[in-house]
Amino acid sequence: MPASYSSADDVLHVLASLRQHERDGKRSPHKPLLVLLALSRLAETGSSRIPWALAKTRLADLIADFGPPSRTGRAQSAAYPFTRLRSDGVWTLDTDVPMDRVTPLHGGVTGQLESSLERALKDQPDLISTVARSLVDAHFPSTVAPDVLLAVGMDPEAVEAEAALDPAPAPERRRSSTWPAAVLEAWDRQCAFCGFDGQAGGVPVGVEAAHIRWFKLDGPDTLDNGLALCSLHHKLFDRGMLGLDDDMGVVVSQRFSARTPFGRFVYDLHGRRLKPRPGTPEPAAEHVRWHQEQVFHGSPLVST
């Protein structure tokens, strides 16, 4: 049964333990997304209450946009964390309903953060930002984390500034300090998808080292798990709008849409093959498969 959470350490500890649900490299951000939505409601309205009528649209949208690709129906995908977060001792429902079932929720069930947890968060407003940052940092790459915060109704810069006042939880793995430069070098300091090679005073600008399998989901800092990508294509790759097929061709998702010529330029990437320079390893098939299964959304623009 729910313990009582009074100190900042208690709150951080119990919410950070939601990380444990990510096993075998399979992404499962459903519960963290619900907690983030509840934190945003708490900051905005003074209460974390979320009626199912709201969760079945807002939470379902968040899961569809930021979760792994899924064939589960939208309401069902929201019902899972809405009912199951109770077993973590941090969430309560005002009606005792069975796990995972959608129909009983339609009777007007409302969820809320466990009361001592909610009180601890209200007593220390900076703690909301600290927990929010800890959750997005644990489950999403830095290209996606600000988008998630914006989508739940928080200001990413404010979260960053307020959370900075508290010590950040120690990272579980250390990133290699030399990997980003090695990846840029291996790909001639240009985007592997579009070829963008901008420099500012001789230094690459807007070209970044991207993990294919996310570092936070056990992706290694190796050259066969890295691509140099421009900032835009890095974000689209991490958001699952761009991907790779088994032949190292770029794939554009049908979910991506743009109207202006610059935006529509992304469509032209579909089918382009990666051309690493001699000596640079192609992305490893296992990392590409992970991205296909855990990140890439929807169907390819043109089926091959």
Closest contact distance (angstroms) between CB of 118 and Zn ion is 44
Binding mask 24-53 for Zn ion (x = CB under 5 A): ------------------------------
Residues within window 269-298 making contact with Zn ion, judged by CB under 5 A: none
Residue with Cβ nearer Zn ion (216 or 233)? 233
CB atoms within 10 A of CB 136: 27
Residue with Cβ nearer Zn ion (193 or 290)? 193
Closest contact distance (angstroms) between CB of 194 and Zn ion is 3
Kind of pairing between the strands at 203-204 and 110-113: unpaired
Question: What is the crossing angle of helices 52-66 and 145-152, to 10°?
Answer: 160
Closest contact distance (angstroms) between CB of 230 and Zn ion is 3
Reported as type and span, the H/E element at residue 123 is: helix 115-123
Closest contact distance (angstroms) between CB of 189 and Zn ion is 12
Length of the chain measured in residues? 304
Q: Among all chains, which residue has been given the structure tokens 């945003």?
A: 40
CA 122 to chain centroid, in Å, comes to 26
Residues within window 188-227 making contact with Zn ion, judged by CB under 5 A: 191, 193-194, 196
Full strand arrangement of the beta sheet holding 50-51: 50-51, 110-113, 91-93
Residue with Cβ nearer Zn ion (194 or 274)? 194
Backbone angles phi, psi at 146, to 5 degrees: -65, -35
Residue with Cβ nearer Zn ion (193 or 256)? 193
Kind of pairing between the strands at 91-93 and 50-51: unpaired
Closest contact distance (angstroms) between CB of 26 and Zn ion is 28
Reported as type and span, the H/E element at residue 261 is: helix 261-264
Closest contact distance (angstroms) between CB of 144 and Zn ion is 17
**Span interacting with Zn ion, options 10-18, 186-194, 199-207, 217-225, rule CB under 5 A:** 186-194
Residue 270 contacts residue 300 (beta carbons within 8 Å): yes
Residue with Cβ nearer Zn ion (120 or 230)? 230
Judged by CB under 5 A, does residue 163 bind Zn ion? no
Buried b (16+ CB within 10 A) or exposed e, 203-233: ebeebbbbbbbbbbbebbbbbbbbbbbbbbb
Residue with Cβ nearer Zn ion (82 or 196)? 196
Binder of Zn ion out of 230, 242, 250, 295 (CB under 5 A): 230
Residue with Cβ nearer Zn ion (149 or 230)? 230
Judged by CB under 5 A, does residue 233 bind Zn ion? yes
Closest contact distance (angstroms) between CB of 265 and Zn ion is 9
Number of residues this chain uses to bind Zn ion (CB under 5 A):
6
Count the helix, strand and coil residues of the chain and give each as a percent rounded to the nearest 5: 50, 10, 40
Residue 131 and residue 125: Cα distance in Å, rounded? 10
- Interaction site with Zn ion (CB under 5 A): 191, 193-194, 196, 230, 233
